[in-house]
Amino acid sequence: MISIRRYQLLVILSIITLIAFFAALKGYSASMERAEQLFDGQLKSLANALIIIETKDKSIGTGQHSEFAFQIWKNKQLFLHSDNTPRTAIKNFNEGFSDINFSGKRWRSFSYTDEVNDKWIIVAQPIATRFELAEEMTLAAVSPLVFSIPLIALFISFAVKRSLKPINQLSQLLNAKQAKDLTPISIERNSKELMPITDTLNDLLLRLGDAFTREQRFAADVAHELRTPISVVKVNAHNLKNECDKLMINNQDTEVNFADLEQGIDRLASVVEQILLLNKTNHEHLSVHFSQLNLQRLGQEVISEIYNEIDQQQQSIELDADQLFINGDEVSLKIALQNLILNASKYAGRKCHIKVTVKELAGLLHLSVEDTGPGIEASELPKVLQRFYRGESLLQQSTIKGSGLGLSIVKQIANLHNAKLELAASQDLGGLKATLVFKHFIAGEQ
């Protein structure tokens, strides 16, 4: 995935580099052609200057590496020449420019005749020297364009970064928003292209705010509209049973029917409470207040609150907790631990043993609840975290009533605390072991 800034920078630099390359190539070709014309003009000027030379010395020293060579012929005789030319004519006596070879080099030559004095002037310059000089001149002209590309890239990068500042600001505003913050987004320096996006986002936030408000109102209405009728039904069922007892019309079938009715009402009430609790513990709806919590004390409080329910099942429970602290929401963590303990109490059976452990293992804090019950098949462990799922082994136990939401609520609360819910077979007790694993904690007395 490439960023818009990098993409724009690469595209613009590629276009500029390509244009600069073709401009440099065209400039190089034009400069070389112009240099050729200048060097040819030098040869003409040198030929004109040599016409007026009169000397008794037939050879003029120019050095083996001179940039020029010349011959002056008078009356078909070699009158004067540079010492880097042979004593024979280096080219035919034809006026104009031509390329010739002598002294092991390739030369550009120009010949000119002085008809008045019957002279032929031949001048030449090494082509390699001409090329080197022309290339130096051309590179001197083209180099600033090539070397300016990094500077252009720097300015383009700055311009692109500045142009994308509204997008970066929008990203920062979205990242800074809390789950419940659905207020409109306002960007200081909005752009014409970004304005439709911000308008769409603000419209989406407005609709989400309305949807969340409706959902919260629905949850409140459900709490009121369902709890009251269920309570009325339960009271009416109890009164009906009492009336039947008074009229002495009860029999075995009636007793079974009344028992089933009461269990159904209790299960319906439990499902409603669990659904409401699942909705409340959603991180978008839950009002969390994080503080430093002593998990040992939290475990003691939860066990004391639900001890009567455990005692009614003739079950035993123990707490093995070290002095470990985390930053968390007390209400939601109590709900999570209470659900784990009650699940163990419900599915492990009468006279079972439940153990709650708070320990540090491998640098992580483990809050575990395990029991001596039948446990859950390994193949079903990943599924039981799904909402409303109840394993085959649990469905076979028709006396156990549940909604399949308890572990989903615990998992939701674990996510709220950046923790992980792990399910496995208990190595010590043989039943199910449910563990909340926290990454960050504090050890020792506070």
DSSP codes joined into one string, 309-366: HHHHTT-EEEEEE-SEEEEEEHHHHHHHHHHHHHHHHHHH-TT-EEEEEEEEETTEEE
Q: What is the mean pLDDT of residues 424-441?
A: 88
| Residues 86, 145 within the same domain | yes
Q: Residue 154: in which H helix or E strand, if any?
A: helix 127-163
**pLDDT of amino acid 63:** 47
Q: Are residues 369 and 266 in the same domain?
A: no
- With a CB cutoff of 8 Å and minimum separation 6, the contacts of 198 are 170, 185, 187, 190
Out of 230, 249, 279, a domain closes at: 279
Residues 312 and 415 in one domain: yes
Looking at the structure, do residues 391 and 421 belong to the same domain, yes or no?
A: yes
Pair 372, 353: CB distance under 8 Å: yes
Q: Are 343 and 411 contained in the same domain?
A: yes
Look at the chain and report how many structural domains it folds into: 3
Closest CA to 209 of 174, 180, 185: 180
In a domain, 165, yes or no: no
Same domain? 434 vs 301: yes
221: tokens are: 């209405």
pLDDT of 216: 65
Read off the tokens for 144. Answer: 């600033």
Return the pLDDT at 367: 93
Q: Are 433 and 426 in contact, with CB atoms under 8 Å apart?
A: yes
Using the predicted structure, report yes or no on whether residue 368 has a pLDDT greater than 90.
Answer: yes
Question: pLDDT at residue 395 above 90?
Answer: no
101 vs 422: CA distance, rounded Å: 91
pLDDT (average), residues 98-114: 85
Find which of 37-51, 159-173, 306-320, 407-421 is predicted with most confidence, using mean pLDDT. 306-320
**185 in a domain, yes or no?**
no
Torsion angle (degrees, nearest 10) of CA 361, 347, 402, 407:
10
Query: Is residue 203 in a domain?
Result: yes
Residue-level pLDDT at 410: 85
Share of the chain above pLDDT 70, in %: 76
Mean pLDDT of the region 345-349: 85
Residue 417: band (very low, low, confident or very high) from pLDDT cuts 50, 70, 90: confident
The verdict on residue 171 lying in a domain is no
Rounded CA separation 413/336 (Å): 7
Answer with the one of 261, 279, 297 that is the final residue of a domain.
279
Q: Tell me, what amino acid is at 391? A: G
Residue 204 and residue 107 in one domain? no
- Decide: residue 385, CB within 10 A, 0-12 exposed, 13-18 middle, 19+ buried: middle
Paired tokens of 419: 């923790």
Angle at 334 between CA 360 and CA 353, to 5 degrees: 70
In this structure, are 397 and 376 located in the same domain? yes
The total of other beta-carbon atoms located within 10 Å of residue 168's CB is: 11
The answer to the question of residue 236 being in a domain is yes
Domain containing residue 259: CATH number: 1.10.287
Confidence tier at 443 by pLDDT (50, 70, 90):
confident
Please state, in angstroms and rounded to a whole number, the distance separating the CA atoms of residues 431 and 374: 5
CATH number at residue 133: 3.30.450
User: Are 232 and 88 in a shared domain?
Assistant: no
Are 295 and 336 a contacting pair, CB within 8 Å? no
Contacts of 22 by beta carbon, 8 Å cutoff, 6+ apart: none
Is there a single domain that holds both residue 330 and residue 428?
Answer: yes
Q: CA nearest 79: which of 120, 47, 38, 110? A: 120
* pTM for the full predicted model: 0.47
What is the helix (H) or strand (E) element at residue 106, kind and residue range? strand 105-114
What CATH number should be reported for the domain holding residue 318? Answer: 3.30.565.10
Shared domain check, 253 and 104:
no
Clarify whether residues 149 and 272 are in a common domain: no
* Closest by Cα among 442, 429, 431 to 377: 431
State the average pLDDT over residues 22-42: 77
Domain range for residue 239?
A: 195-279
The helix/strand/coil state of 36 is helix
Please indicate, yes or no, if residue 249 is contained in any of the structural domains. yes
**Does 244 have pLDDT greater than 70?**
yes
Where a domain ends, among 224, 246, 279?
279
Residue 64 has what pLDDT? 46
Residue 61 counted as domain residue: yes
Q: Does residue 187 form part of some domain?
A: no
Identify which of 375, 403, 367 has the alpha carbon closest to the alpha carbon of residue 293: 367
Q: What is Dmax (Cα atoms) for the chain?
A: 161
